Structure formats: structure tokens, C-alpha cells
Structure 1
């Protein structure tokens, strides 16, 4: 099966340490082509970086995965008293996703504590641990907890404690203003404004990566980089069934079958950007797809894995 070509973006497929497929194509913005140095929003794959930040702090004893999340947030509502980082990491907290918060403008700026107050104003969908519901707001709370536990801004913590040790020199979190080699998102062939990545999507969809950096990122579960063995195992354990056949959620990763193999993976979807990253341990394959357009051939990922 031949792999369909991307219109814009990067597609990488590696087996072991050998890069077998490399597509870099299309325009990054109105003036520049996509190159190996182009940074793309990885959208919800950013949740993996938030999970690693939490696990790093847990390894250091700065927080616990069974802490009441109220310990790490200003003025939390009583309805959150039973929620822990574990619940937020696994989407079992009962908090909703963006559709449960239609009053939030994903592209608009927000004051951090006012954003938390909006989250707090919507009752949880169920008591912690009683169900599974994908929740980006839950990961925003985790990023705030990282800030409180580390005493540093979240983007700074990722830069110094996550990206730098891994050699991910093209990666950063938050607003891209003033940065070089950043793609512009497109829908229907036209550029669209970025979502707010400093506050509204912090921890949930705020990271920019090159294709090569995201391929390196997959070495966190693959080679146990950055975290100790127990934390890596906890991250990729199928903690909470998602309701799809054979699939569960770990800490920032979906765990389940992909192209007939075991896999840990995640997709991402921000305004004008799509992303996908997966590691298939049985064949030791890593797949990265980053594109700055909303429309992507749905056969692209399966075709790449069947190549």
C-alpha cells in the first residue's frame, strides 16, 4: 500500500533507530515552505508532557498522585475535593471537555484564576473514578499543579526539565510570538488564528514540536528516558477503559491496538493543526504526523503503518 502524500507538514516512520519514511512538504506559512526545522502545534499530544512533568515531581516527592487536587489549586470548589492527579491524568475526574464549557473562547486570552472559576462553575459529570470522560480542562488543572509544586511557570518547567534533557531543541510550550520556524494553522486552505496556548490550553494542547523532536519524545516510553522504570510503567499502564474495544487510557497515552499491534499513541487537534504520534513496541516502530491544516486523509496513518 502506498502512503498518501501530505499537503502540508511532516510524516516520519522509524523502525528501531532507522528512519524509513520521511515526508516534509507544503507551506508552513504564506512565505515559507515546511522544513525539518518547522515547529507545529502538537495539540493534545501535549498532555503527555504534562503527565511527565507530574511524574517527575512525584518521583522527587514534590507531589503525590493521590494528593487532593485542592491542595494545588487556589480556591477550588468543594465538588473537586475527591479529585486527585491520578484522576486528572486518566480522565476519570468527572470534569468535562471543551463542549461542556461552551462559554470558553479557545482562541481568546484568559486570566488564569478566572479560567479556573469557569471550570469550577460547571458541576462534574460523575464522582471521581466512577467513569471515563476525556477532559482537556483536567490537564489545565495539572499544569497549574505543576506550577504550584515546582514554584516555576509551567512552560519554563517543561523547557528546563523535559525538553532540554531530551535534546528537544526545537520544542517549546505556549505562545509562538517572536519565534522562528513556526507553522500557521490552516482550515479550508486559509490561515486561521491560533488557540490561546498560554492559559486556556496550558498543559492540554500548548506544545510546539518539530517532527524529529516528537520522534525523540517517543523514546520516553520506548527507552525509559527521563523517568524511572516505575514511572514509565505507570504512564503506559491501561488504567481506565475508554469504551472503545481493547483500548484504555494511561497517563497521557491511549493504550490499545493499532494496525493489529499493541501501541501507545495519541492524536491532537487544535484549530488549523492535526497531529499523531505512536510507538508500537512489538515491531519497534514510531510514527509521527504533524500538519498545519485541519483536513487530513484519514487513511494516512493506517497506510503508513501498513507500508
Structure 2
């Protein structure tokens, strides 16, 4: 059976600690011809939400904040309509906040002042009362990153570098703009390079992390081996807190929880301009699947056919 893979990117599949698939293909930068390698770093897009969730859980373990805290405690001048929203609501996409399409005034590619961005989010009333529904919301995770900054009293990217990536040995990972960093994949659409989204502010906490494929495989050991977090925090992170409306699927804290290839899994996909990403762990078979691609025309669902393959 042929192995599905992107034209540009990296695909890894393990069962236990055995590496079953290791594909590195295509150009990291079509303009220069620089190839993708195991050291190439890709935008992991919305998988970044998992790092934000872990940052919140680490601070909760240390007693710095509580998941039941109202978001108003950790944000400057929040609007009254956010008064009932807690960190738990933001983590589970049950806050009532919208996704990018609900905020047409937000330029996801352009830089923004952090408080101006919050003002644009606040201009739209919540879609429903907190806890009354489920609606995927990247802006909600931007608010979580701001809460981490305030609670930890340091920049969000720095917190991830020191408290998340370094302890896990994820030496090829970082959050924020990639200016001046080596080994970065350039996003492509229809074979042409495209500008990056703004990762320093607009996508902070929601889609701002760069990883190598090996680092993202290591990341899956957070739920798999309770690395970095206590078992209780891992259990909370991967619990099915909020049904998404798809059969058998719910959202935990930064993870989708539900069937994948017909089996129990925790997983997430990512989609930034010119990048696609996917990461999953299937606990019953102990399989881990990582896809990182710097091309828009990739269907991450296609690679799930590898799961369970001999």
C-alpha cells in the first residue's frame, strides 16, 4: 500500500516507540529550492491551542490561577458581556465567543496592538451565554494566552519556551514570529509562497507555534506519558468536556476527544495560510501520527488511513 504524504512536509507514524513511517518530502521554500529536512520547522496552526491549554493547567497546578476564574480577572478592561466567561469556557470553546469569520475587522495577517485586538473581539456580543453551546473560537485562545501572560507576569512566548518546550526537550519549537530563525518552512498555496499570518499578537495562543515533526511527536507524550503535567491535569485536559456536534466527539482542553479511524483518540488539526498540520494519539494501540505540511492543498484526514496499517 502506498503511503499518503504531502508534496511538501513531514509525515511520522509510530506504534509504541517503533517508527513505522518517516517521510520528508518537497521544498521548504519553493523560491530558493531549499528542501524540507527533519530539522525544518512548520507552523502547527491550531495545534498551538494545546500549548496554551497546558500553560493554563501548569499555572493552575501552581495555584496561580483557577480554571473557574472569570476571564475578567485576567484581562484589562473586559466588556460587561464577558462577565460570566471563565477560563474553562475558553478552554472548551463554550464561551460564546466567535471564530475568525465572526470578526471581519480583524486582519489575521497584519500586526495589531494587543488591547486594540481585544477591543475588536469585544465589539461582537457573545453568540450564546457561557456554557450554553459549543462554537470553535480561536479568539478565545488568544484571551487565554493574554491571561497566561498576566498570571505568569512574563511574555507568553517566553513562558512556553521556558516552562513547556525546554522541559520536554523540544529544542526546535518556539512561539511567535519566525523572523531571523533558521530552518523555517514557507507556506505555499497552489505552489506559490504566501505571506504568514501574524503570530506575535493576532494568533497568540491560537495558532502561533512552530515545531519540527519530531518535536510534535514528543509533544504527544504529554497525554501519553503524563509528561509535564500531573495525571490529574492530563485527565482533565483529555476529558470530553463539551460535545462538538459530530458523532461521538467532544472537546477537552485543547484536544478533540473521540473516534479516529474508528478508534478512541485525542487529536487536533491545524490550518494556517499555506500550512496544514495534524497530530493524534490512539491510546488503545499506542499509535502516534504527525503530519506537518507547508502547502494548503493537503487533507489531513487522508493520512488517518495509516492508522492500524501493518
> Which TM-score bucket, shorter chain as reference?
over 0.9
* Counterpart among 206, 219, 222 of residue 220 in structure 1: 222
Q: What is residue 246 of structure 2 aligned with on the other side?
A: 244
Q: What is residue 85 of structure 2 aligned with on the other side?
A: 83
* Counterpart among 140, 143, 166 of residue 141 in structure 1: 143
Query: Whole-Å Cα distance in 1 between the matches of residues 5 and 289 of structure 2?
Result: 15
Query: Whole-Å Cα distance in 2 between the matches of residues 76 and 300 of structure 1?
Result: 42
Query: Whole-Å Cα distance in 1 between the matches of residues 149 and 16 of structure 2?
Result: 35
Query: Whole-Å Cα distance in 1 between the matches of residues 110 and 236 of structure 2?
Result: 35
User: For 1:32-72, what per-residue CA distance to the aligned partner results, in whole angstroms no more than 9, with x for missing partners?
Assistant: 10000000000000000000000000000000000011000
Q: What is residue 172 of structure 1 aligned with on the other side?
A: 174
The answer (yes or no) to whether the contact 2:28–2:35 under 8 Å persists in 1 is yes
State whether structure 2 residue 192 is matched by structure 1 residue 182: no
The answer (yes or no) to whether the contact 1:214–1:277 under 8 Å persists in 2 is yes
Q: TM-score, normalised by structure 1?
A: 0.99
Q: For residues 299 and 85 of structure 1, do their structure 2 counterparts lie closer, same or farther at Cα, with a shift above 3 Å needed?
A: closer
The answer (yes or no) to whether the contact 2:278–2:300 under 8 Å persists in 1 is no
User: For 1:235-276, what per-residue CA distance to the aligned partner results, in whole angstroms no more than 9, with x for missing partners?
Assistant: 000000000000000000000000011000000000000000
Displaced runs of 4+ in structure 1, greater than 4 A? none
Query: Whole-Å Cα distance in 2 between the matches of residues 186 and 6 of structure 1?
Result: 12
Offset, 1:298:
5.4
Offset, 1:302:
2.3
Q: For residues 46 and 282 of structure 1, do their structure 2 counterparts lie closer, same or farther at Cα, with a shift above 3 Å needed?
A: same
Structure 2 residue runs of 5 or longer lacking an equivalent are none
3-state SS in 1 of match to 2:35: coil
3-state SS in 1 of match to 2:27: coil
Query: Whole-Å Cα distance in 2 between the matches of residues 270 and 121 of structure 1?
Result: 24
The answer (yes or no) to whether the contact 1:6–1:23 under 8 Å persists in 2 is no
Query: Whole-Å Cα distance in 2 between the matches of residues 303 and 92 of structure 1?
Result: 31
3-state SS in 1 of match to 2:28: coil
User: For 1:169-211, what per-residue CA distance to the aligned partner results, in whole angstroms no more than 9, with x for missing partners?
Assistant: 0000000000000000000100000000000000000000000
Q: What is residue 23 of structure 2 aligned with on the other side?
A: 23
Q: TM-score, normalised by structure 2?
A: 0.98
Q: What is residue 257 of structure 2 aligned with on the other side?
A: 255
* Counterpart among 57, 71, 74 of residue 72 in structure 1: 74
Q: What is residue 204 of structure 2 aligned with on the other side?
A: 202
Structure 1 residue runs of 5 or longer lacking an equivalent are none
The answer (yes or no) to whether the contact 2:40–2:183 under 8 Å persists in 1 is yes
The answer (yes or no) to whether the contact 1:3–1:303 under 8 Å persists in 2 is no
User: For 1:66-117, what per-residue CA distance to the aligned partner results, in whole angstroms no more than 9, with x for missing partners?
Assistant: 0011000001000000000000000000000001001111100000000000
